[in-house]
Every structure is written in structure tokens, then in C-alpha cells.
Homo-oligomer: A and B are copies of this chain.
């Protein structure tokens, strides 16, 4: 158990994921806060936590709270992150960091001035074999990076009757599939490759310009809207799918496909990094194996195994080879890295966790993607 006391704000799908992972990382969870005092109390009790905080203000007023995790809808991130940092508490914010780059740039400044640690929850980096891939790029196992391709596809918005707050531009932002899942891939690939994407050319598509919104509340990943629920048509401007061609700082190129309308894919992120000596292929559906492609000898399959991985990857893997880890373990490892860094006094870039600067770069990248799509041409990504 570390000495940290943390509060989680947000009680949807991902809030409880943070709560469990904080416990595993040895961080004391002091409570959870929902969108109303009643929800705060109900959620705290449901998760077996004290119900001492009814609102974020309660949390910020308590000097015994060291850190706040924000798992709220995207449009609240800016105000809440700002408030947390100004209360001189560490902060972990779900992605995307903000609704636009004006906000995210300001958050980077505030974080830098605050003397507090500020992370964005790009958890996928914390699959040990993604750290392994990054280590292998750096130790030149791959040779020069030639190109990177991949996709992030899901099927939970396949039907025009599928609905969630994320499909509305006003609540989730003007980009949806790109901002919700594409940004995970883009962050991951830049983390692994160690270089920035500098230009993009995107073509996005709203498969269903109208969706049926239930008049009552809906949960992420809740499956079909029941047949007897009343719905109303609502216009959709956010994209269901799209392609993005990419150029990297050093000349490498690539492309990304994102979709939330691919039947049979529940949550599937894949990448193929091609180097001049070796390629790396990974699929989040089988996260415990990394495929190494070789030209002149058999391809290899590296199984997640602390005894077989590079030190940075072994450090974020708790179980021996053959004992699969999964999605919940990525949050545990992200938080272990985050709080471990704070203990060591690492409060800003470069950091072993995704920082607000990384989150800001993702916002700039998303803005370039949206601009590229609207203007149907290549667009440079602004410098963070």
C-alpha cells in the first residue's frame, strides 16, 4: 500500500475500472463521485467505498486527497482537470484530454505550473508487449522503421438503433470513432515508434446520419436497445468509420482504419510495424503474444513473460509466462507507473506514463484529422 489517497470522478463503465486497478496498485481509493450527490453515494456504496464525497468540490476541499481520476464525459474534462490541478492535486484524466486544442494547451500549461503530475489514461500502452515493442524499436531489433499500419474496430454501434452519448458531437466532440478509439491507436503507435505523426490525410464517414435515441438513459456496451424502449430520431454528425493516411517525422508512412460498425469485432486494435530488419504485429484480442516477422528465418511469437521480455516490459508484467494478463491489468500497471513516478519525483515530461503533453498532441492530431477530412486533403499536425 502506497501512501496515496485518491478519488475517482465518474461512475460509468470506466470509473469502476479505475477503482479496482487503484486497489491493485496499492493506492487507497477514498471514494467515488457521480453526476449528483445521490449517485455519488450510491456508487460509493456499490463499490464498497466510504461515501464521504458528494461532489468534486467536496474532494478538492479535502487536503488528505492526493489525486483525482476523471472518468467523466469528454466535455467536462477541461474544467475538472483545471480545478483539480488548481487545488494542487495530481490528476489522471480519461482520453480525450479536452474538447479542443485551446483547452488542452491550457491544461498543459496549468499542469506544468502546478508542480503536480498529470496523466491521460492511455492504458493500452501498458499491455506489457506494447512496452516490449517500444523497447525493440529503441534497441534497433527492427532496423529502420519503414511503415506502420493497423486498425481499431468495434461493433457496438453497428445498428442505427445503437445509441450512446458519445455519438453526439455536443457531448463527445465533433470526432467520435477517431477520438474514442482511433486516438488510442495513434497514441500507442507514437509511443512504440518513438516519433510523432506530422501529416494526415483522412476520409471519414457517418454510416447512419440518423440514429434512434432512447428517451431514457443508456450505458456504453449495453447491447441492443430493448424493443419496448421509446426512441426518437436524432441527427448524427460524428463518424462511424474512416481511414487516415499517415506520415511520421522521419519519413515513415502508414495508415489507420477505425470503425464502430464492423460486425463481430467487439474491441479489436491491431498494428503492424514494419522495420528494415523485422516487423512487429499485435492484436489486442490476443494481447499476450507479439508476432515478430522475419525475412530470412522463421517468424516468431513472443509470449508475454517477464523472464523473456525487455526490462521496461518485464517491469509492468506481474505474472509469469503462460498466465494471461488482460485489460484490467493495463490500468493497474498504468497506475503503478504513475504513482511510482510521483514517488520518485517525476512530475512532468519525460515521464513513464502518458502526460498531458501527450494528450494535447492527440487533440492537435485529431484536429488535423478533422480538418483534413473536411478539406479532403493532406494537413500538417500543429506542434504541441
Contact = CB atoms under 8 A, between A and B. Distances in A.
A233 interface: no
A264 B134 CA distance: 19
A63 interface: no
Contact of A262 (B159, B272, B321, B329): B272
Interface in A219-267: 221, 223-224, 241-243, 245, 247, 253-255, 257, 259, 261-267
Copies of this chain present in the complex amount to: 4
A320 interface: yes
B301 A298 contact: yes
A308 B224 CA distance: 12
Given A26-B48, A257-B149, A300-B301, A324 B287 contact: yes
Interface residues of A, number: 88
A330 B95 CA distance: 29
Contacts of A205: 147, 253
Contacts of A281: 264
B376 A265 contact: no
21 contacts: A17-B319, A146-B241, A147-B241, A159-B276, A203-B247, A203-B255, A205-B253, A263-B274, A264-B292, A285-B288, A285-B324, A292-B298, A297-B300, A301-B301, A319-B326, A319-B327, A324-B324, A324-B326, A328-B329, A376-B377, A377-B377
